[in-house]
Amino acid sequence: MDGISTNAVIAEHSINATVAILENLGEALATGTLAAQSASEITGPGFYDNTKTNWASLLDDGDAGRYNLGLSGDEGIAAMVGVLSMAPRVTGDAAAVAKFKALDKSTFASTKPTILISNEADRLVFAGNSSRYVDKKRAVYEAELAKWEASKKGPKPIWNTLALYAMTPETYTKFTAAGLPDLAGPVAASGVGHQSFTTKQMKTWVDMLAVAAKSGKVPTAKYVEYIATKVPYLNGDTDYRPADLKYNFG
């Protein structure tokens, strides 16, 4: 569901928005459970701690308004948050937390060509992860460039990272005769789901990787802009930035 569509039978959009977020939540819970199990097998139990998490504070006024009608109004939302707040908390184990933090050894210092591709509305790994990766990579690159400009020794660092995005249609929810989101209807032509791309989008990404592997450089912005005219829903703007991640966990 696109989360913004309305129809002639039910003009209020929050039912569609609520169904959309519940769709995402179902997959996120399943994946999160498996991921947590996998991580705990390495770190031991207790690699996270939610004893101080204020669930209500995570739902800002904008979100509450967006899902108001779909979740039976303010009282319904308050009741759900209240039940959630009474759920058992998980107390972290210091040793497990330390092992978990040590799992990520990324330095973002690689100079090899790197080409990312993300769905605009990936419900598990948000597109904002790509822009955050690019941000961290650029910070390292700019630091290296500053060092080079001060000494002019060795080869000049080059920016060698490209983030591609498969975009969604503006709207794509289909509705039943009763005006409700049709869960059995066709999915969007592009940009939704986890790591699911059209054949043309995937082939373009693979072709770019092959060329970059030979040349040692990612495609130019001009080339990306051109190729995007041939591949439906592929964003040709190399400066495009999806919605940033709402929370920074490191």
Q: pLDDT by residue (tens digit) across 104-132?
A: 888 999 999 999 999 999 988 899 999 99
Report percent pLDDT > 70 for the chain: 95
d(CA 118, CA 134): 13
Residues in the chain: 250
170 burial level (CB within 10 Å; 0-12, 13-18, 19+): exposed
- Look at residue 12 in the predicted model and tell me its pLDDT: 66
Work out the mean pLDDT of the chain and round it to a whole number.
88
- Which CA distances in Å does 68 have to 1, 23, 26, 60, 88? 17, 17, 20, 12, 26
Contact 118, 167 (CB under 8 A): no
More confident residue, 180 or 37: 37
Low-confidence winner among 32-36, 128-132, 188-192, 210-214 (lowest mean pLDDT):
32-36
The H or E element containing residue 119 is strand 114-119
Contact 119, 166 (CB under 8 A): yes
Find residue 121's DSSP bridge partners.
Answer: 192
| Statement: residue 80 has pLDDT above 90 | no
Contact 129, 87 (CB under 8 A): no
Tokens of 160: 């060698």
pLDDT digits (tens, 9 = 90+) for 170-180: 888 888 888 88
pTM over 0.85: no
More confident residue, 229 or 9: 229
Give the three-state DSSP class for 51.
coil
Low-confidence winner among 4-8, 10-14, 60-64, 134-138 (lowest mean pLDDT):
10-14
Q: H helices of 86-188, where?
A: 94-102, 128-151
Contact 14, 62 (CB under 8 A): no
Place of tokens 């498969």: 166
